[in-house]
Structure 1
Amino acid sequence: KPSEKHPGYYEFQANPNGATFSAFHPKRDSARADVPFDAKIAVKTTRTRDRDSGWTVEGRIPWNDFLRTGGRPAIDEEWRFTVCRWDAGGDVREAELSTFAPLKDKNPHRFEDYVGLRFVGNDGANAVKPYGIARRTPLTTSKVVGSPDPPFPFRVRQTFTKLKVPNPVGIAHEPGTDRLLLIHQLGSDRPGRILRIKDDPNVTEAEEFLMPDDIVYGVAFHPDYARNGYIFVGSSGPVKAAGKDKKVRVTRYTVDRKPPYKILPDSGKVIIDWHSNGHNGGDVAFGNDGMLYVTSGDGTSDSDTDLAGQDLTRLLAKVLRIDVDHPDPGKEYSVPKDNPFVGEKDVRPETWAYGFRNPWRIHVDRKTGDVWVGQNGQDTWEQVYLIKKGANYGWSVMEGGHPFYLNRKAGPHPFSPPLVDHPHSEMRSITGGVVYRGKEFPEIEGAYLYGDYSTGRIWGVRHKDGKVTWNKELVKSPLQITGFGTDSRGEVIIADYGSGYYRLEATPKDQPTAKFPLKLSETGLFTSVKGHQMEPGMIPYSVNAPLWSDGAHKERWLGLPGADSHIDFTRNRGWNFPDLTVVVKSFALEMEEGKPDSRKWIETRLLTRQQGEWIGYSYVWNDEQTDATLVESRGADREYVIKTADGERKQKWHY
């Protein structure tokens, strides 16, 4: 029983047959918690076939097993414990309890009767150090700062800084007003909420606009919102429902046309819904044609296990197009007569396009009517689509424009590629955006802006007749981008799941930038590049399971900036390093097979953490082994000639 501050306690068991058991009890007389343990318990017996003469138990319990009650004890902290033994078998009719604690009855769970165990520490004279260095020398010489590439044309600046809005996922301008709707989540597996604020960067108050029992994805205002007050909300829920009972739905609410313009009670009306528990879609937008466009995902969390992507009989994995102004009898919508599959057998007529995995954001360009969708890819690619009537975008036979499961049954229509495919080296979780029609940045007028949740990057793309004419990275940020919207002036606002809302601003032309080291000798990490001698602040390390790397010899170092920085441990994502950390790995090849003294350095790789993001660079060594030069971002290939017992062989190396 480690702590008086926590009601929980632990139980560890072993028997002579080697069976072991570990448990955490949140409180006495409650069910034990189903939690993992790293405790190691071993049993050794001294026996013959007909006689047991004794057994011993040894155990090792790491401190992290006790994190639920405070973790590792402080010096002079006292815990309570007992060791018990149950004897049974032979002539014993009832198990007998032996214990060295004065338990008042035969109940090993009476922790108030346990004996004390005080942790006194040690004098350090014979202590085994749990680390490899007695004192860390700070790394103060590193010049690995910034980027070898020119600065991006834009950067982000936080807005609405006087508001605290947890987990933002979207933003929308309320037509005809100076008000904005902020969509956010209250937390993991908790409902979403829509707030309403004045479009003012210094706003201090937010009005609670809508709080359904769903996770909210997006909103769309009816084209005649000023008169009818209709707002359409895409969501998934109920939050607490079992997976098989969750639905994605589009609900119409009515906003009172009289001040204070609140949503009318009981005005919510479900327009369309379908079962989905994974890639949900659920975003909504009105087209310039007055029709409502709705996204749906494949309904699962990985690899389209339900094979919905090419299935035209379901509403999943599609962009839907419905008419909410002229509903059919008994429904809240009708199918437009010009939808591409109206009248076809075994096809949901609401379908406008299909073959989607997880479309995350839909947008309609008010000037051109173009319908844009950003989509989260699977293993390798992220996609941007310019949606065309009746198109099949391939999932899950294809991943964007690339093969995925070619053995799966395809739909009856040819595959259409995305307008843009991004490899995971550039983006890993695309968030669809908006076409820029503001006044502040004429250089990106008409460009579709989109971002990425995992990398924080923002790109822009333009097209002509469905062909890309311009595609450029505009911003590199630390944001977890979940949505884009525009304010009352048409300027872009970005939702960051981690910290709030941001605007674009131009990068100052005269902003000073650090000169990024183009040679290894300029990095400040070496006292001698020729001798491959590192600065004292660089810590050598090894890994438990090194990769083979084509037989190359490798050496590794780690540098933390300054004297006060440290590495944090996180239970979910491993180690957390401070910004400006540098990790170095150098590769050497034996120029004569089997002779370590013939090794030559061929590559040194740097990983550096800046603005919360890890970035990698590679340097290729010269033949003289005196320095190495930065490799361009597109990479490089080089061939080396290795002497062997049979002559020589060529080894290709990719940088």
Structure 2
Amino acid sequence: MRRSLAFPRRLKPALLAVALVVLVPACGNGAPAPSTGEPAAAPVRPQGVSAPHGAPAPAVASRVEVTEVASGLEVPWALAFLPDGRMLVTERVGRLRHVSPDGTLSEPIAGVPEVWANGQGGLLDVALAPDFEQSRMIYLSYAEGGGEGGRAGTALGRGRLEGDRIADWQVIFRQEPKLSQGGHFGSRIVFDGQGHLYLALGENNERPTSQKLDHLQGKVVRLNLDGSVPSDNPFVGREDARPEIWSYGHRNQQGAALHPATGFLWTSEHGPRGGDEVNIPQPGKNYGWPLATWGINYSGQPIPEAIGTSAPGTEQPHYYFERSPALSGMAFYTAERFPAWQGSLFLGGLASTDLIRLALDEDGRVVSEERLLTERKPRLRDVRQGPDGYLYVLSETEGKILRIGLAGGP
């Protein structure tokens, strides 16, 4: 069983390569998750959001066209579109590159901070400032070393993009304490259009820290654009809590996007063995990890701290997967090029090696699930909607940027 909460407002309707046309089978994974026999905690929902409902129907299979835009990247992690049509792409080893529309890769951009490139750590997300065309500011999240015992944490910084270099680099946030030995850094950067940014973080593979309000592991943090703390954050003024925290009880969040109609933040996170989640983090709310989870340990044993699939004082996920796709980047589709996709949420799958489309109704509930690129089997690290209305994804294992559209047009 999967859970999906309703949402209050309708979504907006809104290269030289070889193209592949693929008939993609639908995939439902509709079997119910095992029940613990416990009553579910009553979710506290955004205004107008309805109660959960059951598993969605499989989607009708789509015919998609896949075009290879660029290749030769080493573990690409994130991409962002520049106003001139080029892309910025991060490579986890610590490089940031320009990629032209014809797929040409630039030399590494100078001025990128030193990253801790170990395990899952390295150079992670990239995002343009909301006023980029005037300020030329970009933001980068990355793994930063220097913790006790050689450990690392997620950092966030910004600088001005001047051609092929970053000037005036400034670190504006550090995950404290630094606890990672190579796992669970998160992270995605999202701007809310109101002068704030969200940074979705992992718990450094230290489960109990997600519940500790004096730690920044397993949290969504909300900052002003300069890294200062907004005065209306939910834990401002509490001596036992970090004021940066927006929500807590998360595991390893590698996807985040702003809902185009409501302005709410949506995030995706890896579960352990099963129980990957899509959440709509609300201020001050606890999303359960590791007390409540729909997954089990990789060993096949229960999570030691877990009470069950729910726990007092915690929120249920908006949607969850009984079998883990290992969710990565995510994007809402709002373009007019492919009307059949309008209002859908797209998520990359690392373990499932596919692109997941969740069709949403006017209230934001998941009504069908479709798996794309199943024959190609890419480990998809990021998903973005391009200015041309196509989807662009990063295939980590292939080191490529792929452009995805419906075959035959709209």
Could you say what secondary structure the match of 1:484 adopts?
A: strand
Is 1:468 aligned to residue 365 of structure 2?
A: yes
Note if 1:334 corresponds to 2:228: yes
**Post-superposition shift, 1:462?**
4.9
What is residue 61 of structure 2 aligned with on the other side? 152
Percentage identity across aligned positions?
22
Return the structure number with greater relative CO, CA threshold 8 A, min gap 6.
2
Distance 1:241 1:195, change over 3 A: farther
TM-score, with length taken from structure 2: 0.73
**Which residue matches 2:136?**
229
Q: 1:154 to 1:416 in 2, by over 3 A?
A: farther
| Matches of 1:158 and 1:467, distance apart in 2 | 30
Matches within 5 A, 1:575-590: none
Could you report, residue by residue, the CA deviation over 1:40-69 in whole angstroms, capped at 9, with x for unpaired residues? xxxxxxxxxxxxxxxxxxxxxxxxxxxxxx
How do 1:21-420 residues align onto structure 2 when only pairs under 5 Å count?
Answer: 152-155=61-64, 157-161=66-70, 163-174=71-82, 176-185=83-92, 191-198=93-100, 200=101, 202-210=102-110, 211-214=112-115, 215-238=122-145, 244-256=150-162, 260=163, 262-264=165-167, 267-274=168-175, 275-277=178-180, 278-300=183-205, 304-305=206-207, 307-325=208-226, 333-400=227-294, 404-405=303-304, 414-420=313-319
Following superposition, the deviation at residue 261 of structure 1 comes to 6.4
| Superposition deviation, residue 431 in structure 1 | 1.4
Q: Deviations over 1:566-593 (max 9, x none)?
A: xxxxxxxxxxxxxxxxxxxxxxxxxxxx
CA–CA separation in structure 2 for the residues paired with 1:451 and 1:154: 18
Deviations 1:480-518 (A, max 9, x none): 011112323343101111111112222569xxxxxxxxx
Render the CA deviation track for 1:358-412: whole Å, top value 9, x for unaligned: 001222234432212111110222111122222211000112599844567xxx9
Name 2:383's counterpart in structure 1. Answer: 484
> Counterparts of 1:243 and 1:383 in 2: how far apart (Å)?
32
The answer for the alignment partner of 1:135 in structure 2 is: none
Structure 1 residue 208: Cα displacement: 2.3
How far did residue 242 of structure 1 move?
7.9
Deviation at 1:463, TM superposition (A): 4.7
For 1:242 and 1:381, locate their aligned partners in 2 and report how far apart those are by CA, in whole Å.
Answer: 31
Distance apart, 1:318 and its partner CA: 0.3
- Partner of 1:249: helix, strand, or coil? strand
8 Å CA contact 1:386–1:466 kept in 2: the answer is no
Match of 1:497 in 2: 396
Distance 2:63 2:334 in 1: 16
The answer for the alignment partner of 2:15 in structure 1 is none
Distance 1:448 1:467, change over 3 A: closer
Q: How far, CA to CA, are the matches of 1:496 and 1:242 in structure 2?
A: 34
Letter in 2 for 1:276: L
On the 8 A contact 2:354/2:379 being kept in 1, the answer is no
Q: Aligned with 2:343: secondary structure?
A: coil
Tell me how far 1:243 sits from its aligned partner.
5.7
Q: CA deviation at 1:249?
A: 0.5
- Partner Cα distance (2:237, 2:361) in 1: 32
Is contact 1:385-1:420 (8 Å) kept? Answer: yes
- Distance in 2 between residues matched to 1:154 and 1:399, nearest whole Å: 35
Distance 1:496 1:404 in 2: 31
Runs of 4+ in 1 over 4 A off after TM superposition: 146-151, 240-243, 400-408, 462-467
Aligned-pair distance for 1:204?
3.0
Cα distance in structure 2, aligned partners of 1:506 and 1:475 = 11
Q: Which amino acid aligns with 1:285?
A: V
Are 1:429 and 2:326 an aligned pair?
yes
Q: Which amino acid in 2 is paired with 1:491?
A: Y
State the Cα deviation string for residues 585-640 of structure 1 (Å, max 9, x = none).
xxxxxxxxxxxxxxxxxxxxxxxxxxxxxxxxxxxxxxxxxxxxxxxxxxxxxxxx
CA contact 1:419–1:467 (8 Å) conserved in 2? no
Q: Distance in 2 between matches of 1:148 and 1:351?
A: 38
Q: Secondary structure at the match of 1:439?
A: coil
Task: Give the CA deviation at 1:479.
Answer: 0.7
Larger Rg, first or second structure (1 or 2): 1
Please report how far the alpha carbon of residue 429 of structure 1 lies from its aligned counterpart in structure 2 after TM superposition. 0.8
Q: What's the counterpart of residue 45 of structure 2? A: none
User: Aligned partner of 1:171: which letter?
Assistant: L
CA distance in 2, matches of 1:380, 1:298: 17
Q: Which has the higher strand share?
A: 1
Query: Among residues 343, 347, 350, which one is paired with 1:446 in the alignment?
Result: 343
Asked whether the 8 Å contact 1:447–1:462 carries over to 2, the reply is yes
- The answer as to whether partners of 1:171 and 1:486 remain within 8 angstroms in 2 is no
CA contact (8 A) 1:373 1:384 kept: yes
Mapped partners of 1:364, 1:501: distance in 2: 23
Length, aligned pairs only: 337
Whole-angstrom CA distance in 1 between matches of 2:362 and 2:235: 24
1:204 is matched by which residue type in structure 2?
T
The amino acid of 1:496's aligned partner reads S
Inter-CA distance 469–283: structure 2 relative to 1 (3 Å threshold): closer
2:80 is paired with a residue whose SS is strand
Q: Against the structure 1 CA distance between its residues 372 and 486, is the aligned structure 2 distance closer, same or farther, given a 3 Å change threshold?
A: same
Matched residue of 2:185: which SS? coil
Question: Aligned partners of 2:362, 2:406: CA distance in 1, in Å?
Answer: 29
Describe the SS at the equivalent of 2:187: coil
Aligned residue in 2 for 1:11: none
Structure 1 residue identity aligned to 2:150: K
